[in-house]
A and B are shown apart, each in its own frame.
Chain A
Amino acid sequence: MKSPANSVSKTSEHGAVLVAVLWLVTLMTLLVVSLGGNVRSNVDLSRLEIDRLQTETTLDSAVEIAAARLLADGNEAWDGHAEFVNLNGASVEIRVLDASSLVDIARAQPDLIRALADKVLGGGGASNALADAILDRRSTDEQKPSSELPFQSVDEIYELAGERPELVDKLIPFIGLYSKGGRVNVRASSRAVIESVPGISITDVDDILSLQRSRDANIAAYQAIAARYGQYLTAEAGNVYIVEAKVMGGLHMLAGSSLRATIALNRKNGNAPFQIVRLSW
């Protein structure tokens, strides 16, 4: 028969055991949480590093793919339209623009540079001052050998804009250093650049834009129009292209990362058929 005293003693023992068990469970939970946190931080850090490297490699590959396309087909009008490729399981947007479709600040006719600054910057003192500064830099450099350019990088015009960098921000999408003889490739140039050509008629602007829209590789039609503005326009592509690659999404990719590379093709060099001349963020 159970005595009540015996029962009280047993209950106390059970209570003590319960407290001990609770202590142990709490301690073990703390240990597991700490360990889990440690492992998770380590894994997150490694994963971020892997994602960053994978994204960078993917963007580099996208530039190489664009270069391969350019080397395979030099006749297409590369006007910066978007194409999508799948690389390393990521969707990558690639845009290729013929850099000779931009106004060459080192070699283009001065009136074309002034007209472009007027059009893009809205005219007035500030846009004239910037155009003058660009042209002054060219004339200062006239004593230099003809092979040497007054600019080694298009970014140098920020230096000329002084306290007004926002003017350059607006102008820079339309200018470059990569033309053939200072003329703009009419096959890939933008409306703003075409409309800046001194003396160009509205009909010719419309005809050029219509040819571009139709994606018609009718070189003769482009050449006919370009010939009328021979000192400003050409239908010939250059050997420099601007490639923009952007990761749109994908597993282990940093979506939104992009790379803008300006590349020069040298088809004669089988070992290094293209080189990067500018790389921006």
Chain B
Amino acid sequence: MKHRSSQQEGFTLIEVLVGLVISASVIAGLTTLASSVNIGWSQVVRKLSSQEKVSTGLAIAAGDISRIQRIADRQSKPPQFHFHGQPSSITFVVQERPASGAKGLYWVHLFSRQTSSGTALIRVHAPFYTTDGSAAAAKWADEVVLSEGGFSFSFSYKRAHGASDAWLYDWREHDTLPGLVRIQTTESRTGAQAYPPMVIALKVSAEAACVNIESPACTMKSLGKLMSEKN
């Protein structure tokens, strides 16, 4: 005779309880795992995004610096280039990017500024007027944050000629332009180097006056140094 035992018709309370405990443990484990994956993923995304921002910002700065024009203030005694290099900022004259819609020569000022989220690398520009070519008179506008986050940026400069191989943090040789500019990126919190330093060569190395190499306004024969006019 076939007999269906009531014990075989379903789960006992104990079995259901054990099952629930096991399921809860598994779900808790999975949730922890998913959460840690999510945290890791967010960290990776943040890091990538920050790397991308720094990389793009530095590429823009490098593009500007490599195209620095050799424009001199020949009225000053002795004559000096329109260029200022400090550890936390750099100011120079370039032809603006076509995409900016700005035509002609522009002052560009790159500097780092403290913000709530760390330090930002900022770019501003101003039209360059030969009649009043001083950076002090420039009307800075169109601020662009090239990079922002937990990084600090510093500039240093190296001579194009001469025996000294040192990086200078303050460019005081106003009658010449540096040959190389370096941008160092460090972690604001620890001060440790965040990325390898970016070294940019100034590609413009002679003046328009060099159509006549003998001209005193051409520095090709004076190792890049502006010479005073001899009347």
Contact = CB atoms under 8 A, between A and B. Distances in A.
Contact of B215 (A147, A155, A180): A147
A31 B210 contact: no
B194 interface: no
B69 to A, nearest CB: 6
B203 A147 contact: no
B76 interface: no
Interface string A223-251: 00000000000000011100000000000
Contact of B208 (A52, A152, A168): A152
Most buried by B among A20, A52, A269, A275: A275
B101 to A, nearest CB: 9
Interface in A120-178: 145, 147-149, 151-159, 165, 168-169, 177-178
Interface stretch (B47-55, B140-148, B165-173): B47-55
B33 interface: yes
B189 interface: no
A266 B217 contact: no
Contacts of A156: 104-105, 130
Given A38-B44, A281-B98, A169 B210 contact: no
A238 B210 CA distance: 11
A170 B213 CA distance: 30
B33 A27 contact: yes
B216 interface: yes
Contacts of B55: 45, 49
B222 interface: no
Contacts of B199: none
Interface stretch (B3-11, B107-115, B116-124, B149-157): B3-11
B206 A158 contact: no
Given A31-B37, A49-B55, A159-B130, A149 B217 contact: yes
Nearest to A158: B104
Contacts of B84: none
A72 to B, nearest CB: 19
B103 interface: yes
A277 interface: yes
Interface in B52-83: 52, 55, 59, 66-67, 69-72, 74
Question: Top 6 nearest A-B pairs by Cβ distance?
Answer: A158-B104, A275-B206, A5-B8, A165-B103, A264-B210, A177-B208
Interface of A: 3, 5-6, 9, 20, 23, 27, 30-31, 34, 38, 41-42, 45, 49, 52, 60, 99-100, 145, 147-149, 151-159, 165, 168-169, 177-180, 238-240, 261-262, 264, 266, 269, 272, 275-281
